[in-house]
Amino acid sequence: MSLLIKNGEVVTADEQYTADIFCENETITRIERNIDKVKADEVIDAKGKYVFPGFIDPHVHIYLPFMGTFAKDTHETASRAALVGGTTTFIEMICPARNEKPMEAFELWLGKAEGKSACDFTFHMGVTRYDAEAERDFKEIVKRGLSSFKIFLAYKGAFGITDEELYAALTLAKKLGVIVTAHCENADLVLELQKKLLSEGKTGPEFHYWSRPPVVEAEGVHHLMTFAEMTGAHVYTVHTSCEEALAEAIRGKQRGVNVWVETLIQYLLLDRTSAEPNFEGAKNVMSPPLRDKKNQEVMWKALADGSVSTLATDHAPFDFEQKKMGKDDFTKIPNGIPSLEDRVNLYFTHGVKGNKIDVQRFVDTASTQAAKLFGLFPRKGAIKVGSDADLVVYDPNYRGKISAKTHQMNLDYNSFEGFEIQGRPHVVTVRGKVAARDGKFVGEAGRGQFLKREPSHF
């Protein structure tokens, strides 16, 4: 299968130029100003359009048991949604219960994706307990191709780990060269605040915010910075939502901690009023919660100046019926929103078109940085000879609106319902083969590959 993309404006994290791109055997083989006299199975005219490297979402949940229910997407529906939205690779969180064996969880999550996903995928391995048996499993899982862990400083009694386990996990990660992604809150504070609020009859979704206010997230980041400093481990704060938490990460970095920061598309565009004042707000309950609007400008500036490295989604699709589990108790509302499909278009619309970030930084934060941090670069996140031919021919002149009626995600609502977008992928390729075209999935379920990665964070 060969592919020729003509006349596009190629944009990477560090370059912008007009060129043709020729792809064979799933990789990019030529990048030149004008490629002709070649036979290609498919030719795409990209005149007037950008050509971006395939976008990478470094934080998604697809198979997710949570609060007694399961997320609604499958790898078929989630990968379809990802590709239509320009995301060609995602990194899914493996989240075993504390009583599950890590290796069994790895095999379970891998089995859910292999042969079903239409885009390429890999995983962060959840460390939800730490003992001698678990340690043996973690070492073997790294040999099997994972180079990142996930820890929770939240969800006490479920995914959360103790400080002793935190120290052991970070020590092992440093030894193996693995980066540790971390959900940073203070689990004990969250639990006590939840109990206090419920005892006062404050049961609605609007009180979720007050059970984990910004200071609780900031304390979690501070805690992680201390342990990372003590162990030398490389860490990555997922779904950083507010100025206070970001400030703790920056302070850690200034004193030598190896830390990178992720934020989410929803924290740039939604605020906590979206989770208030009636039960409809449960649709937008997530942890950490949506914050006061003033944080949006802080996060946009941090993405622009490099204080925040990546923009992700924390895609966690629970439908409204599932959210009703918490009708009389906000602590029982399944956490998360669907956002995998809309991240790139919303980010381009409000970031590039909104003059908050330039187009190269857009590519860097939505693709290249994730590839570099998680052992995928330059195979992914790049437009180079030898890179995988994951390409997004992007039409900046498209105009449309987001709606649950037309999205690919397996969900009955969209948190960005009615949002206008300025720009959309015209053609999306995965390893040289067209997988989406003008908002329609045209790829193959199961063609996605498990991406094995080598540790690089020593």
Kindly tell me if the per-residue pLDDT of 68 is higher than 90: no
For residue 393, the number of C-alpha atoms closer than 13 Å in the C-beta half-sphere is: 29
- CA angle (54, 57, 59) in 5-degree steps: 165
- In sequence order, the 6+-apart residues with CB closer than 8 A to the CB of 103 are 137, 140, 141
Model confidence band, residue 124 (pLDDT cutoffs 50, 70, 90): very high
Work out the angle between the directed axes of helices 294-305 and 243-254 (0-180°, nearest 10).
30
| Contact assessment for residue 167 and residue 231, using Cβ atoms and an 8 Å cutoff | yes
Q: Could you state, in order of their start, the residue ranges of all structural domains in the chain?
A: 2-52+383-396+423-441, 54-373
24 Cβ contact partners less than 8 Å away, ≥ 6 residues apart: 1, 2, 3, 432
Neighbouring C-alpha atoms within 13 Å toward the C-beta of 21: 34
> From 3.30.465.10, 3.20.20.140, 3.40.50.1100, 3.50.50.60, which CATH number describes the 54-373 domain?
3.20.20.140
pLDDT value, residue 133: 97
Report the half-sphere exposure of 395 (CA within 13 A, side-chain side). Answer: 17
CA gap 235, 229 in Å, rounded: 10
What's residue 219's pLDDT?
98
> Residue 430's pLDDT is what?
98
Q: Is the pLDDT of residue 157 over 90?
A: no
Measured in residues, the chain has a length of 458
* Closest CA relative to residue 364, chosen from 8, 12, 9: 12
Q: How many C-beta atoms surround the C-beta of residue 413 within 10 A?
A: 18
Half-sphere exposure of 73 (CA within 13 A, CB side): 30
Q: What is the mean pLDDT of residues 178-194?
A: 97
Beta strands in 155-232, from DSSP E residues, in sequence order:
179-184
Confidence of residue 166 (pLDDT cuts 50, 70, 90): very high
Instruction: Evaluate if residue 48 carries a pLDDT over 90.
Output: yes
Query: Which of the four pLDDT bands, split at 50, 70 and 90, describes residue 67?
Result: confident
> Which superfamily, per CATH, for 2-52+383-396+423-441?
Urease, subunit C, domain 1 (2.30.40.10)
CA 390 to chain centre: 17
pLDDT of 277 above 90: no
0.95 exceeded by the pTM?
yes
What does DSSP say about strands 55-60 and 87-94: parallel, antiparallel, or unpaired?
A: parallel
> Which of 289, 290, 214, 200 is CA-nearest to residue 246?
214
Instruction: Look up residue 12 and give its two tokens.
Output: 């990477």
Q: Where are the alpha helices (DSSP H) in 232-288?
A: 243-254, 265-269
